[in-house]
Structure 1
């Protein structure tokens, strides 16, 4: 999860420092044994606690290195502990052959760790879900047991002088098991390398045999899988083969478990050249990533921008959109938005397709003023990469949620996933969740928040669970229009009139003005939104303007029909250009 990444980085840093300290302490124990060869207590007093430390640390290291576990860690210290243990055993009269064999086996296992970790880290992902092809690049079993077995062998070696020959035989048995397990690891690594090499060599033919009609091209920050997964159900409904192309390991990991479609990792421009096959007619994009220009250079393809939401954010009118052949927009508002910001665009490139994702959004169950205790969704956006995209109200979110609770509202809290990447917003999220938990315990209200609202439920599930919404400048506002339920937007940097001029979606919403000091007139806004709701009819007009004049009972069919037409798939032709309806 995004919120855990800073913590994980700190833990990893501490573990690396801890590994150095363990090595230093083991070196100290080695010198003590050499200085006091007859003092058995030196081995017990220093080696055993250090073995316990390494054993306990193995779990944290396993999480960091996945199935490789702690292999390759503490090598210097473990070698020294092995030497100290062997010297101590030899001085206690244990048969020479036994301690030589046991020491040799543990040393061989340690050296295997070093080599195998190095080889494992070179096996990078390359593809997933290719029909008829085993593309598993992960270890088939947990390699980390080699580390655990070596630690167990060293522990037995330390106490062998008290166990005698039985202890030495136990070390031999554990050492042999560690070597055999290391051999199995080596076999698996060789097989993984072979599969990867074969697949990369045959990738052009594999993709050609797949006969994809189009590609979905994606490059984004890690943790952004929602950008592409929101579109996949509808792209799959086109009924033709396609493949997803990503450009880095992080994006591959984001999608590998989240999709079933063929997923191909292409790191270089030459890698891309090899998979652009004759069957492909188009490429779909879901953001304005810089690396989109690597794919756009294939002029034989039709390049179609989808984006990942309908909103008045600056990204929705990025001038780089001109480089695409088509811009699929939800409604006329998206086209007018470019002109309003002085960005000249050829109108022929636009196709109004609606937002197919909202087809499952339910209409209001009753006028909100008739509800004794409405449920309100608070869905703030994140801070943004740049100053012109800092729309988030989360800093004032606890105050806003408190006012809703005082009105007896049930709250659904679903912040933007990127909110957890900023310390101040992460702190605000934690405060809001604590408030909701406390209120639920006191009142019994079934607030929705945390894993339930952010992971198990989709944003559209949250829409359907609510009777009204409060958000910021965000794509969820445009999507929420489909429900025709009341909504409010937070203006964090402008007066209400200026805010509505800059962000036309706000003309369909109640606006809460905010400042660095706090929220302004929030009570008056909540009175109107949760009471008489005078903007009800205005919202209906804006829903058509922003989301297209498309029948509700077949809403997603517009996107499918337009996409099939551009891909050359037989389908009933529909009108896809022109003004659907004048602006309200």
Structure 2
């Protein structure tokens, strides 16, 4: 008997390849039909040897049982559903449906009844014995087939509405809880190219969450678990570009559709390992903010042809205002403390939130006011929320103390009312971690500090190039007083910071990146005939 773990791996590999490759899927379908045909012929052949030439009823029963069983083997996924798409019935703001019929028992029953019908024919049993399993397979597999027809009709209805909408691009999202930030970040820049788009979402469990926490103007289409099946119908003639914002492995489900151009955008430029995933080489085009991103791939050992890159800066930073005065001229500087999320694995945990209270205490001692804006996901995890509250308590107590000048901002104002860019415009300096926040902050030209949670200063700057323009705080906050005093005073890192701004953000200033992005994709979208 084969090793169970080996079998499990092979099964998982088969399922994965079936989900992401149309070629593999077609091959698997051909194999199933081939095996089914062999079994059909074998059943009729055995019948001929045992009981003479099969009659019309035997042939019809065998063919019907074989066809229906193969159809039922596909175990159809539910239909996709759309929100905010004209021409599709339903409330644009209504809930995402989650109550889908369970076809499992019907499929399993078909798998049993079909082979039993073939065995009855092969054994030369009488019509009554053949009729029982045949009736069962007709009822069971027929129910599955009927459901498939309903799913197909609903999918085609969405496709027709999309054809009328004429989207040029789709945001192909297969990520997790950070979706609201990712989608909000990129929808406007993509729409600024002058053509409509659509948002495809893969993970149904996030459908409601994404729609409740975004103000998307594009239609939202929730795919089923069989995304490839859906996309084969939903990719209408005008839809020729898929954009990817998250590193999810399930992006490959979208990438099974070869007739579109797959474009990697990501959700921010940073020196985190996620910025140099090897599978980025599988995208047709990679939009990066500056040459630093291209160098990052080369340093990380990810080989990507130069022609796949296009440098367009960061459209989102157009709202970040450049500094108009030196920080030495600010009587009481305001520092934005924006720690990143800890990630799902320790290897990618760069968050300083665990000792955020100590960091803001050091800023208070240096005579600064603090705007505290932790990563949005931090408040969704109880352990991280504890560190958020602990940091907020320090700032709240200093604000409430009439004997101190501190006037710090915490809670809803900097986290919900203001955008991150608005927080940046109200700050004179930044303290953050290895994060895309730092790259965007370079647009302002203002000083920033980064927190090294694991490495000595020199090694930290060597590992993370954007830190070469930063003041570096170590986890033990040794020399924090001197480091912060330099950042808020002489600002000795101004030169390296200006050089990094060009390398990281492509040399664009003001609205130049947003305009370059819109112009680049307007030209490409315009080339797709409706």
TM-score, scaled to structure 1: 0.64
Output the CA distance in 2 between the equivalents of 1:542 and 1:407.
26
Superposed CA offset, 1:317-367 (max 9, x none): 111101100000000000000111222111110000100000010112321
Corresponding position: 1:303 with 2:258: no
Deviation at 1:128, TM superposition (A): 0.9
Output the CA distance in 1 between the equivalents of 2:290 and 2:94.
47
What corresponds to 2:519 in structure 1?
Answer: 561
State whether residues 380 and 416 of structure 1, in contact with CA within 8 Å, keep that contact through their aligned partners in structure 2: yes
Output the CA distance in 2 between the equivalents of 1:359 and 1:288.
25
Corresponding position: 1:522 with 2:522: no
Superposed CA offset, 1:212-239 (max 9, x none): 1111100111353101110111111111
What corresponds to 1:478 in structure 2?
Answer: 439
Corresponding position: 1:278 with 2:233: no
SS of alignment partner, residue 552 of structure 1: coil
Output the CA distance in 2 between the equivalents of 1:238 and 1:262.
17
Superposed CA offset, 1:250-283 (max 9, x none): 3322332421211101111212222011111211
Output the CA distance in 2 between the equivalents of 1:124 and 1:485.
50
Output the CA distance in 1 between the equivalents of 2:92 and 2:219.
15
SS of alignment partner, residue 248 of structure 2: coil
Corresponding position: 1:400 with 2:355: no
What corresponds to 1:347 in structure 2?
Answer: 306
Output the CA distance in 2 between the equivalents of 1:508 and 1:329.
20
Output the CA distance in 2 between the equivalents of 1:256 and 1:271.
20
Q: Pick the aligned partner of 1:266 from 193, 207, 223.
A: 223
Deviation at 1:240, TM superposition (A): 1.0
Could you tell me which runs of 5 or more consecutive residues in structure 2 were left unpaired when the two chains were aligned: 1-77, 96-149
Output the CA distance in 2 between the equivalents of 1:256 and 1:197.
25
Superposed CA offset, 1:131-180 (max 9, x none): 2444228779xxxxxxxxxxxxxxxxxxxxxxxxxxxxxxxxxxxxxxxx
Deviation at 1:196, TM superposition (A): 10
Deviates more, 1:346-355 or 1:232-241: 232-241
Output the CA distance in 2 between the equivalents of 1:366 and 1:510.
19
State whether residues 185 and 316 of structure 2, in contact with CA within 8 Å, keep that contact through their aligned partners in structure 1: yes
Superposed CA offset, 1:527-561 (max 9, x none): 11011001112211110110012243433111112
State whether residues 175 and 247 of structure 2, in contact with CA within 8 Å, keep that contact through their aligned partners in structure 1: no
Corresponding position: 1:210 with 2:162: no
SS of alignment partner, residue 489 of structure 1: strand
SS of alignment partner, residue 555 of structure 1: helix
Deviation at 1:413, TM superposition (A): 0.5
Q: Pick the aligned partner of 2:85 from 109, 130, 136.
A: 130
Corresponding position: 1:219 with 2:219: no
State whether residues 201 and 221 of structure 2, in contact with CA within 8 Å, keep that contact through their aligned partners in structure 1: yes
1:70-81 matches, cutoff 5 A: none
Higher RCO, Cα 8 Å, sep 6+: 2
What corresponds to 1:492 in structure 2?
Answer: 453
Pairs aligned (count): 392
Aligned in 2, Cα 1:204/1:335: closer, same or farther, shift over 3 Å? same
Aligned in 2, Cα 1:217/1:553: closer, same or farther, shift over 3 Å? closer
What corresponds to 1:247 in structure 2?
Answer: 202
What corresponds to 1:317 in structure 2?
Answer: 276
Output the CA distance in 1 between the equivalents of 2:288 and 2:523.
16
Output the CA distance in 2 between the equivalents of 1:139 and 1:468.
43
Superposed CA offset, 1:495-551 (max 9, x none): 11111111000001011122xxx3222111101101100111221111011001224
What corresponds to 1:30 in structure 2?
Answer: none
Deviates more, 1:327-336 or 1:532-541: 532-541
What corresponds to 2:508 in structure 1?
Answer: 550
State whether residues 155 and 233 of structure 2, in contact with CA within 8 Å, keep that contact through their aligned partners in structure 1: no
State whether residues 338 and 373 of structure 2, in contact with CA within 8 Å, keep that contact through their aligned partners in structure 1: yes
Q: Pick the aligned partner of 2:319 from 360, 374, 378.
A: 360
What corresponds to 1:228 in structure 2?
Answer: 183
